Each structure stands twice: as C-alpha cells, then as structure tokens.
Structure 1
Amino acid sequence: MIRKATRHRAFDPDPNAPQQCCDMPGCDQPAGYRAPRGRDALNQYFWFCLEHVREYNAKWDYYKGMTPGQIEAHIRADTSWQRPTWRLGNRGGAVFDEDEVLDPLDILGAGRQQRADQARAREAGRPRAPEPLRQPLDTLGLGWPLSLDELKSRYKSLARQHHPDANGGDRAAEERLKEINVAYTAVRAHLATARPDLQTAS
C-alpha cells in the first residue's frame, strides 16, 4: 500500500487562499500565495500567483523609508523581542532585589546570608556617616567615608543612566535625576566644608 503524502510542498498554493485572481494589475491567474502589504501591516496580505509573488518578494525591503539610525534602533529592539531591557543587576534603574525572587527551595538563601554577614562585618569596622548625609548617600548608592573623586565618578554614572534624553524623555527618570542632583550637592557641600582645599574644586 502506498501512503499518500499529506505534507504541504514548498511551492504549492496556500490551501487557505481565497478564490480570487492575482492582485497584480492585469493578471488573471488564480491567487494562491500571500505577501504582507507593508512593514506596518504584516498581518494584511496581497494575494498573488506564483510568478508575481516571486517578483514582489524579490523587491521587498522591510526597512524601506527608514534612516540608518532607525534601522539600527529597530534591529537592537528586535534582539530583545521589542521588550525593554536593563543592565544586569538593575531593573529600570532600581537595584535588583533578591527578596522578590520566588525561591521555595531557598537556593539563594545561603548566598544571601553570607553577603549579609559580610556587609555587617564591613559596617562594624567602618565609621557611620553623619546623620544629614545618610539619606543622600543612600540615594547615590555610596558608602562612608568616601573621596570627592568617588563622589564625582558615581554622580556622572547616575546622571548618564537617568538623564531624560537617555530614557526617551521619561518623567520618572527626570524626577530621579533631580533627587540625585540634590543628594550630590549635599554630599559635595559636606566634603568641601570638611576640607576647605576642595572649595575651588569643580
């Protein structure tokens, strides 16, 4: 007994093709092959005969009308399935919190406890920050004591990360940058007061 092949061959007409003629003007052949109408209408189709769908596909340019910058941005977005991404360890500018991870087997527990113990040991051996600076230092993600160079380096990094121009004009990023500016000013003023030789530093 010879089994009949049921697999759809590559160049067979689409079995769901509408009963109509080819959409190419002047062609009266049956339309068995679909092609998207455009970049912004990928689920809307022209229906062509085999000859004209090949001709249409040979001329198809998904990026037609886009600038090189738009093309690069589109390709970058495609690498993450058009979903927003953040640097590893960050989520939209917020520090990744292991406590929010569902961990029923407590796989992360041992490492978390070890890091907590190390952090307590470090805190026990270092001086506490002055009370007025604790909130600004927390905003900047800095410990105490610190140098003016460390402060500047951290500020520049945060300013680049949260600048509205780098976040598509996002208002939340703008507000976060304002908080960072206030915190930076407070810490820098304290360092300058503590060391008069820093008064003229930029």
Structure 2
Amino acid sequence: MGEETPHPLPEERLCDWQDCSDAGEHRAPRSPDDLNSYHWFCLDHIRQYNKAWNFYEGMSDEEVEADVRRDTTWNRPSWPFAGERRDVNFRPTGPDIDDYGAFGETFGETPNRTQWRHGPDTPQSKALALFDLTPPLNARDLKSRYKDLVKRHHPDTNGGDKRAEEQFKRIAEAYQTLMAELGD
C-alpha cells in the first residue's frame, strides 16, 4: 500500500507549467538525453512545449547524421550483407543471361523490355506483325495503334461482317499478348 506509483494517475497530476493548475494529462520528454523521464502538461502547454521542442538542438550536422543512421536500424548494430569480393571477375554469358543489364555497361539503367528474343513464329512476333509494329515498342504507341485497328475492324462499324469480327478478335488477343510482354 505504501508503494509509490511511477506515474501518478491523470486526475492526480497537475500541469508542470509554471503557475498552471490544470490537469497534466499529456506527457513530454524532459530532454533529448533523458527520453524516459517526462513532464506532464495540460493540452495548451503541451502544444507550446512541442512547438519549441527540437531533439537535434545543440548537435552538429555529423551528430545528427549519425543519429539518423542509427535510427534507421532501430539503434541495433548492423553489418554489410555480404563482403565485397573485388578479386572475382564474374562475367556471365549466354543469350538469356543479363536481361536487366545487371552485369554489363548498362547496369542501373531501365531495362528495355522490348528487345525481345523471340523467333518468327512466336505469338509475340505474330502480334507485332498484325499491328505492323517493330521493337523498340512502348505502351503508349501500342495503345494508339490498338485504338486505330479497333476502330477500323470493330463489327459495329463493318455491318456485322464475320471477317471483321474475326480480325477484331485477333487484334484484341494480339494486344493482350504485347501488353503482357511489355509488363503493363
């Protein structure tokens, strides 16, 4: 019974602001060096205190940077994921290696997904031929060409012609194939 509680109940606490007798319901750290010790303020005074609070006040730019870096790993130690091995001269070769330019001079650049390595009888090549397009290709150009072909071959604009309807279906399928290849 005689034990003292570490934090008095809100109705027992008064605002720590000088000459304020309101209830101290809102806590704020006393200093950047002691974040586990608190002032207790009323709503008006916590707002004033928070406006004036600057955790980094008095720190140099280097100290601020070091604190931010520590904070990114929740103040836990960290190490490089893997050691740097500069003695290895790894250069993969082959037709399907390095699709994203990770091993060549283009490392870091956006991969050109339209440099397809498909033979002449693949669905992608047939779709390109149907659209009368050649790589490099982007989604904007493909969509523009698709709209033109759809308008021209839509069954409603061709009086219900079965050949136009079949061509319209092939155009829609080719469009889906090319969009999937572009990744959009």
User: What TM-score bracket applies, with the shorter chain setting the length?
Assistant: 0.3 to 0.5
More helix by share: 1
TM-score by length of 2: 0.39
TM-score by length of 1: 0.36
Bigger RCO (CA 8 Å, 6+ sep): 2
